[in-house]
């Protein structure tokens, strides 16, 4: 049976061997249609992946959103062993959260990079509010991404638009920033910034005292000319007992140890410290060994040998001119007795970080062998004394008037750690917040105003810049502008205000009055001028929040699949 083929509906061609064959146009059209559908399916799959990642990231953001601001709500964190922590501290919430989704884990890890940029990567001192603002802004940006993806805009074009908007926002921050003048004699502005950072914390009852401690500690260790604050010179330690009002700043080093013998003097003046990492014990092989003693005479010889070695060690310490021994390791009763007889006070079992801080403060050298000990390697301090704290008369050692006067210790007191709100831990976290706020101002004394004022001003600037762009990135820039509004909206909502009305009024007033200091009146003081309320944000921290949030969203948008190592699809 023959079939008529319409020439207008067919294409005649040959294969690589010259054999003719016919392609019907309907088949070609069908093939093209299937190709278009396949492309749409791939694009849809990518969009679904992006939306699932956005949902996971938004979940983390929404958890911490209600803790933003001076009237933010607290969270109950329950550890795997049932320990309860009540806190509104951003760093604590993120540190104790256990998330399963890969993108949510990425969000938490990237937000902690704020530690390296704004705080200090060595000691972990970071402004916890920066965590919250970073997550809230990132969550708002990801929420805006959903609408843009639904409109068919490619994720890379969205990320490019966010980058342009972030550049405009950072430039606006530089424009509206003010310089906060301060000096070692005039610390009023630093005190205001420090008190602002402590306003929503559990130490608010003693916030002036804690703010003063933070300012004094930072200025004690800071190099104002170089604008450098070495955090390794600031040690924060705590002891349960007493009240928050008993917290004090010690211009020196405080260690939770006492002298090794009760008959040693409790005060050593003009101390010359031998800082040792070698133990007071006879030398022995580093490999496995054992010693067999078969008679009383052999035991006496062993005792005399040990005594001779101990006396030699004590003599080397005395000959160096030291009158105080700080040892990383312990020593037995015989060595301890010899030290006491030779009027050589000693402190044993001093931890590695503490012994390093003592060496920095006293400008001494850590000596690994007795034979290397010389007068030039000794540390110096004006006075070393034992002090008692609390009703149990627990003793601690204070090293004051050190050769390096920049070393300080903050001693935090508080009630029992087993309380529902762990006073001591919360006080230490709040103090870290204040220290970091003051440190940021010493490094860069430019500030922008809080309460969402800077975010509203940047939102207006980004929206205005979007109107001047003809490319598709203008949609992403307007979305970035809307995301910046999430911070004042959250502050208003957490303060019991009408979010939309508050934001609309503030935007209108900022544009009409050309005043970038107008923000959300979270405390109900009757004024929206954040300069009058002394609500400041360090410029370096605010700028980094925008940059990191934008980088975080770009990283999420560029992910189209999650592959687990060691697993293959069959």
Domain ranges of the chain: 7-39, 44-176+450-557, 181-242+407-444, 252-284+292-404
Residues linked to residue 211 through DSSP beta bridges, in sequence order: none
Q: Which residues contact 456 (CB under 8 A, 6 or more apart)?
A: 484, 485, 488, 503, 506, 507, 510, 516, 518, 519
Band the pLDDT of 39: cuts 50, 70, 90: very low
Q: What is the pLDDT of residues 518-561, one digit of tens each?
A: 988 887 778 888 888 878 778 887 888 888 888 888 887 877 66
Mean pLDDT in residue range 392-404? 81
Distance (Å) of CA 193 to CA 207, 437, 444, 446, 536: 12, 7, 13, 12, 6
486: pLDDT strictly greater than 50: yes
User: Where would I find the beta strands (DSSP E) of 338-445?
Assistant: 346-347, 366-367, 379-389, 394-402, 408-414
Q: Are 98 and 512 spatial neighbours (Cβ–Cβ below 8 Å)?
A: no
Q: What is the pLDDT of residues 283-307, one digit of tens each?
A: 776 667 777 788 888 888 888 888 8
Specify the pLDDT at position 116.
Answer: 46
202: pLDDT strictly greater than 80: no
432: pLDDT strictly greater than 90: no
CA dist., res. 20 & res. 23, Å (int): 10
458: pLDDT strictly greater than 90: yes
- Cα atoms in the 13 Å half-sphere on the side-chain side of 512: 6
Q: What is the pLDDT of residues 119-154, one digit of tens each?
A: 433 222 333 445 566 777 877 888 888 888 888 888
The pLDDT mean for the chain works out to 77
Specify the pLDDT at position 457.
Answer: 92
CATH number for domain 44-176+450-557, candidates 3.20.20.70, 1.10.10.10, 1.10.560.10, 3.50.50.60 = 1.10.560.10
Specify the pLDDT at position 117.
Answer: 47
Q: What is the pLDDT of residues 241-284, one digit of tens each?
A: 777 888 888 888 888 888 888 888 888 999 999 999 888 877 77
Percent pLDDT > 90 in the chain is 9
Spatial strand order of the sheet with 248-250 comes to: 234-240, 408-414, 248-250
Highest mean pLDDT: which range of 59-73, 218-232, 421-435, 454-468: 454-468
Q: Are 379 and 188 spatial neighbours (Cβ–Cβ below 8 Å)?
A: no
CA dist., res. 536 & res. 434, Å (int): 12
Model-level pTM?
A: 0.69
Band the pLDDT of 462: cuts 50, 70, 90: very high
Q: Are 402 and 220 spatial neighbours (Cβ–Cβ below 8 Å)?
A: no
Mean pLDDT in residue range 467-495? 88
168: pLDDT strictly greater than 90: yes
Q: Which three-class secondary structure state does DSSP give residue 3?
A: coil
Structure tokens at 262: 């009760």
CA dist., res. 426 & res. 51, Å (int): 37
Specify the pLDDT at position 6.
Answer: 46
Specify the pLDDT at position 105.
Answer: 67
* 178-179 and 446-449 beta bridge pairing: antiparallel
Q: What is the pLDDT of residues 40-57, one digit of tens each?
A: 444 454 555 556 666 766
CA dist., res. 538 & res. 68, Å (int): 17
Specify the pLDDT at position 15.
Answer: 57
Specify the pLDDT at position 243.
Answer: 79
Specify the pLDDT at position 416.
Answer: 61
Least confident of 350-359, 385-394, 537-546, 550-559: 385-394
Specify the pLDDT at position 527.
Answer: 85
Q: Are 309 and 335 spatial neighbours (Cβ–Cβ below 8 Å)?
A: no
Longest C-alpha distance within the chain, in Å?
123
Given this chain, do its domains 181-242+407-444 and 252-284+292-404 carry the same CATH topology?
no
CA dist., res. 527 & res. 530, Å (int): 8
Helix intervals (H) in 180-332: 188-197, 207-221, 296-319
Specify the pLDDT at position 421.
Answer: 53
CA dist., res. 146 & res. 52, Å (int): 10
Structure tokens at 445: 């004394």
Distance (Å) of CA 323 to CA 54, 528, 566: 64, 61, 61
Q: Which residues are catalytic?
A: 89, 122-123, 433
Q: What angle do CA 482, 483, 485 make, to 5 degrees?
A: 70
Q: Is 3.30.260.10 the CATH number for 181-242+407-444?
A: yes
More confident of the two residues 549 and 325: 325
Band the pLDDT of 392: cuts 50, 70, 90: low
CA dist., res. 487 & res. 91, Å (int): 18
339: pLDDT strictly greater than 80: yes
Residue 280, φ and ψ in degrees, nearest 5 = -80, 80
Q: Are 473 and 161 spatial neighbours (Cβ–Cβ below 8 Å)?
A: yes
* 408-414 and 234-240 beta bridge pairing: parallel
CA dist., res. 92 & res. 75, Å (int): 10
CA dist., res. 20 & res. 5, Å (int): 15
More confident of the two residues 241 and 494: 494
Mean pLDDT in residue range 104-113? 62
Specify the pLDDT at position 21.
Answer: 53
Distance (Å) of CA 264 to CA 341, 349, 354: 9, 17, 22
Specify the pLDDT at position 189.
Answer: 82
Q: What angle do CA 414, 417, 422 make, to 5 degrees?
A: 75
195: pLDDT strictly greater than 60: yes
Specify the pLDDT at position 30.
Answer: 42
More confident of the two residues 128 and 79: 79
Specify the pLDDT at position 48.
Answer: 56
CATH number for domain 252-284+292-404, candidates 1.10.10.10, 3.10.20.520, 3.50.7.10, 3.10.580.10 = 3.50.7.10
């Amino acid at each position: 049976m023959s079939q008529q083929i319409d020439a207008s509906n067919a294409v005649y061609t040959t294969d690589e061997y010259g054999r003719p064959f016919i392609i019907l146009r309907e088949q070609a059209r069908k093939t093209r249609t299937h190709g278009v559908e396949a492309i749409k399916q791939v694009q849809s799959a990518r969009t679904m992946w992006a939306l699932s990642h956005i949902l996971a990231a938004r979940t983390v953001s929404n958890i911490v959103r209600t803790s933003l601001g001076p009237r933010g709500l607290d969270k109950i964190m329950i550890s795997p062993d049932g320990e309860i922590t009540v806190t509104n501290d951003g760093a604590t919430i993120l540190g104790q959260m256990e998330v399963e989704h890969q993108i949510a884990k990425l969000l938490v890890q990237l937000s902690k990079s704020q530690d390296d940029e704004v705080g200090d990567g060595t000691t972990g001192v970071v402004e916890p509010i920066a965590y919250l603002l970073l997550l809230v802004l990132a969550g708002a940006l990801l929420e805006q991404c959903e609408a843009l993806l639904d409109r068919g805009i490619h994720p890379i074009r969205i990320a490019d638009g966010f980058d342009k908007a972030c550049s405009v926002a950072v430039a606006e921050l530089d424009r509206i920033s003010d310089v906060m003048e301060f000096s070692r004699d005039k610390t009023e502005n630093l005190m205001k910034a420090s008190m602002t950072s402590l306003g929503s914390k559990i130490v608010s009852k003693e916030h002036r005292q804690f703010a003063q401690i933070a300012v004094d500690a930072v200025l004690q260790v800071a190099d104002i000319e170089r604008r450098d604050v070495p955090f390794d010179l600031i040690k924060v330690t705590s002891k349960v007992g007493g009240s928050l009002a008993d917290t004090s700043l010690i211009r020196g080093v405080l260690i939770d140890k006492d002298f090794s013998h009760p008959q040693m003097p409790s005060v050593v003046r003009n101390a010359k410290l031998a800082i040792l990492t070698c133990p007071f014990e006879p030398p022995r092989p580093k490999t496995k060994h054992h010693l067999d003693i078969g008679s009383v005479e052999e035991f006496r010889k062993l005792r005399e040998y040990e005594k001779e070695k101990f006396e030699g060690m004590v003599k080397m310490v005395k000959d160096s001119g030291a009158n105080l021994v700080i040892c990383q390791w312990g020593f037995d009763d015989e060595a301890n007795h010899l030290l006491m007889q030779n009027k050589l006070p000693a402190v044993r079992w001093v931890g590695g970080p503490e012994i390093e801080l003592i060496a920095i403060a006293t400008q001494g050298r850590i000596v690994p062998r007795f034979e290397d000990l010389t007068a030039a390697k000794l540390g110096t301090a004006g006075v070393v004394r034992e002090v008692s704290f609390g009703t149990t008369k627990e003793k601690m050692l204070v090293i004051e008037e050190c050769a390096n006067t920049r070393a300080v210790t903050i001693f935090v007191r508080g009630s029992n750690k087993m309380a529902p709100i762990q006073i001591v831990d919360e006080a230490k976290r709040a103090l870290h917040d204040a220290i970091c706020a003051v440190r940021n101002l010493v490094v860069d004394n430019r500030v922008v105003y809080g309460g969402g004022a800077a975010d509203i001003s940047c939102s207006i600037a980004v929206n205005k810049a979007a109107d001047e762009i003809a490319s598709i990135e203008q949609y992403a820039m307007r979305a970035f502008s809307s995301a910046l509004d999430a911070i004042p909206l959250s502050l208003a909502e957490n303060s019991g205000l009408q979010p939309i009305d508050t934001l609309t009024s503030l935007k209108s007033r900022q544009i009409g009055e050309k005043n970038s200091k107008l923000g959300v009146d979270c405390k109900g003081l009757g004024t929206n001028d954040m300069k009058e309320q002394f609500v400041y944000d360090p410029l370096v921290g605010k700028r980094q929040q925008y940059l990191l949030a934008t980088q975080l969203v770009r990283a999420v948008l560029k992910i189209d699949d999650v592959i687990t190592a060691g697993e293959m699809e069959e």
